[in-house]
Amino acid sequence: MSAPELDFVPVPVPRPNGRARGTGTTAIAREAAPEDQAAAAAPSMRRLREDRERLRALTVAGHEPAIERQHGLGKRTARERLEMLLDDGSFIEIEMFRRHQAHGLKLGGNRPATDGVVAGSGTVYGRRVFVYAQDFTVFGGSLGQAHASKIHKVMDLALENGAPLIGLNDSGGARIQEGVMALDGYGGIFRRNVEASGVIPQISVILGPCAGGAAYSPALTDFTFMVRDTAQMYLTGPDVVEAVSGKRVTHAELGGADVHGGRTGVATFVYDDEETCLEEVRYLLSLLPSNNVEPAPAAARTGATADERPRLAEIVPVEPNKPYDMRQVITELVDDEEFIELHENWAPNVICAFGRIDGEVAGVVANQPMVLAGVLDADAAQKAARFVRFCDAFGIPLVTLVDVPGFLPGVDQEHAGVIRHGAKLLYAYCEATVPRIQVIIRKAYGGAYIVMDSRSIGCDLSLAWPTNEIAVMGAEGAVNVLFRKELIAAADPAALRTELIEEYSAQLMHPYYAAERGLVDDVIDPARTRSVVARGLEMLREKRKPAPRRKHGNTPL
């Protein structure tokens, strides 16, 4: 029989005043009780800390074979993406150890930490953002109840803290084994997308599959980025399409980045690789306010109010039918010749872009004479309307560059609802309360002139170049309508037509016709466009126009 185990128990030595102190102890020996033996076997703080670090390291490291498969698909992991997106060392993760609570159907014994989504907060150029990144290496990034709850939490935190929300999407969709709870999780995401709309900027980045109901969240956010070859978005996949229609189609053909970037307009930006894509997300964030009550981040003044750009007088041809690239005009207008264009390949007959003018962020809407002569059509009207509404929601001034011959005529456009879609742009401008400056470069004909932020629908400052032509229609078309009978009866119709066109232009389309009637504030030297616009924005910086009391208007959706 072994000797009884001894345990040394520190006993406080009384102070003279009777109070115990923690130093200067004596020791007594006694036989250890069973409960003391259990305490001795319990883990120490050091061991608990080591266990915690070990579990944390395993969670961060992930499953190596799954990571290799992810890299083999040309994709980064969720954590690698967050490292590229956020400032170094700024990420604060929430609910790292969250696991699903489902049972059966191959789920009960497979409960990895994170549940397929990494969520938290970090900074971009020192400014707070909230972010979640779906992890395709865990359950294919599929969304279950725990996964959705983490996204709900980070969305709530973004809204409560007035900070942008970024979602990095790479998911196989709803987790089938969790049934209706997965669908309920998607519903919670959509509801929060709508609650945050117009309050904080919301950005979706599609870096892999985003199928079924999952596609609706990017559609509800403000900007959607996609990466070629790896990103796909659709409601029903190729197998379902083939089963229903008999048509075979690839993932890329059905919902690839180029489809959504050039045909559907779902993707705002499309890039060739994840590195470029995430760097451009950072750049876009540098131009956006954190929320709807804070101004967009300003840069240093650039002296734009006194800056003349002679090249502006050379870019635009005087002849109204000669094309030119409106991007060159925008380049001369903005600071450092730098801007970011939205939906570059969708409805390219209108340009929507963010840039800075004298350090302040502005939204630019411009007709593009290089494409369809710059006409407005159904897609262009939708594109510009959504951009105008975003700028107005977040207090970003609008500069509208006008060179538009009208709306695109044709049966296809009428049947596509060009009236309804054109009304969206009209509604967006009429509703906007931010500073609004219109610059009429050349043509401004018919209803398209009105829709492109004319004085009649509320622009604050209307400027025009000496090349401006503001009229119901072009002179030749007007003469053909007004003098049809005279031209038919004329001995020399061509000569009469030329004479009438010159007369019509001289009377109704000279550069100062609208200015004489108060519809244009000034006819400016093209070379001074940048300085005049900068001074106008400075003048309008404190503009305040309260919205009428109503629940909301009824936008012509």
Q: Which of 441, 313, 451, 439 is closest to 369 using CA atoms? A: 441
Give the pLDDT confidence score for residue 2 in this predicted structure: 41
- Cα(489)–Cα(407) distance, integer angstroms: 31
SS3 annotation, 275-337: HHHHHHHHHHHCCCCCCCCCCCCCCCCCCHHHCCCCCHHHHCCCCCCCCCCHHHHHHHHCHHH
**Residue of 39 and 77 predicted with greater confidence:** 77
Strand-strand pairing, 339-342 and 350-357: antiparallel
Task: Give the confidence band of 477 by pLDDT, cuts at 50, 70, 90.
Answer: confident
Give the pLDDT confidence score for residue 13 in this predicted structure: 36
Catalytic residue among 162, 179, 213, 458: 213
Asked whether the predicted pLDDT for residue 412 surpasses 80, the reply is yes
Supply 317's token pair.
């041809």
Asked whether the predicted pLDDT for residue 10 surpasses 60, the reply is no
Q: Judge whether 117 and 132 are in contact, CB under 8 Å.
A: yes
Give the pLDDT confidence score for residue 40 in this predicted structure: 54
Asked whether the predicted pLDDT for residue 204 surpasses 50, the reply is yes
Give the pLDDT confidence score for residue 139 in this predicted structure: 87
How far is the first Cα of the chain from the last one, in angstroms, to the nearest whole number? 90
Give the pLDDT confidence score for residue 29 in this predicted structure: 41
Task: Give the confidence band of 37 by pLDDT, cuts at 50, 70, 90.
Answer: low
Q: Is 284 left (phi over 0), alpha (psi -120 to 50) or beta?
A: alpha
Asked whether the predicted pLDDT for residue 100 surpasses 90, the reply is no
- Cα(384)–Cα(348) distance, integer angstroms: 11
Task: Give the confidence band of 1 by pLDDT, cuts at 50, 70, 90.
Answer: very low
**Residue of 110 and 21 predicted with greater confidence:** 110
What phi, psi does 76 have (nearest 5°)?
-85, 165
Asked whether the predicted pLDDT for residue 7 surpasses 70, the reply is no
Asked whether the predicted pLDDT for residue 4 surpasses 70, the reply is no
Mean pLDDT over all residues of the chain? Answer: 90
Catalytic residue among 140, 198, 359, 447: 447
Q: Tell me, what DSSP letter sits at residue 263? A: I
**Residue of 508 and 206 predicted with greater confidence:** 206
- Is residue 448 among the annotated active site residues? yes
**Residue of 487 and 16 predicted with greater confidence:** 487
- Cα→Cα distances 499→149, 290, 412, 513, Å: 73, 58, 35, 20
Judged by DSSP in three states, 233 sits in strand
Per mean pLDDT, which range of 56-65, 188-197, 359-368, 440-449 is the poorest? 56-65
Residues 256-304 have pLDDT tens digits of: 999 999 999 999 999 999 999 999 999 999 999 999 999 999 999 999 9
Catalytic residue among 448, 514, 515, 534: 448
Per mean pLDDT, which range of 106-110, 199-203, 504-508 is the poorest? 106-110
Q: What value does the mean pLDDT take over residues 215-237?
A: 95
pLDDT > 70: percent of the chain: 91
Asked whether the predicted pLDDT for residue 152 surpasses 90, the reply is yes
Asked whether the predicted pLDDT for residue 254 surpasses 90, the reply is yes
- Is residue 475 among the annotated active site residues? no
What phi, psi does 556 have (nearest 5°)?
-70, 80
